[in-house]
Amino acid sequence: MTDVFDPEKRSAVMRRVKGRDTGPEKTVRRLLTALGARYRLHRKDLPGKPDIVMAGRRLAIFVHGCFWHGHDCARGARVPKANRDYWLGKVGRNRERDIASRAALEASGWRVETIWECDLKDEAALIARLAGMLA
């Protein structure tokens, strides 16, 4: 059995990938709300348009998908066999953009946190980490 889709199926799958309001992002927002945090979403006036922004705390949070942003976990390290060069370039550009956005925010006095999709597997640890950000 193979996981390779024909081009039309793959194109349909890729069209359904969302850039905002993703499942991991909604989970982090739910946990933050439970901790009593108030925040704004996708501030376009900040570098990288952070997923979650707490302006009073000068805290910007990015919720990254492991595959799309090249995390060093099992899911992030996987590179598709089809069109390999395209995907290596795509993920590489995403990583470069993430580094530049983080640097620009930090230079402006913002604290920047990145929550990876795989961090959601251990919800208790994630809650503790979020609570630490709010302390």
pLDDT digits (tens, 9 = 90+) for 54-88: 999 999 999 999 999 999 998 888 888 888 999 99
Q: Is residue 86 part of a domain?
A: yes
Q: Is residue 1 part of a domain?
A: no
Would you tell me how many other CB atoms lie within 10 Å of the CB of residue 67? 19
Q: pTM of the prediction?
A: 0.86
Q: Is residue 11 part of a domain?
A: no
Residue 61 sits in a domain whose CATH number is 3.40.960.10
What pLDDT was estimated at residue 13? 74
- Domain interval for residue 50: 20-134
Q: How many domains does the chain have?
A: 1
Rg (the chain; Cα; Å): 16
User: Tokens 């099992």, residue?
Assistant: 74
* pLDDT(1) > 50: no
> Which of 13, 14, 42 lies closest to 29 in space, CA to CA?
42
What pLDDT was estimated at residue 6? 80
More confident residue, 56 or 18: 56
Q: Is residue 41 part of a domain?
A: yes
Could you give the angle at the alpha carbon of 15 between the alpha carbons of 122 and 7, nearest 5°? Answer: 110
Residue 17: pLDDT band by 50, 70, 90 thresholds?
A: confident
Average pLDDT (1-18) is 71
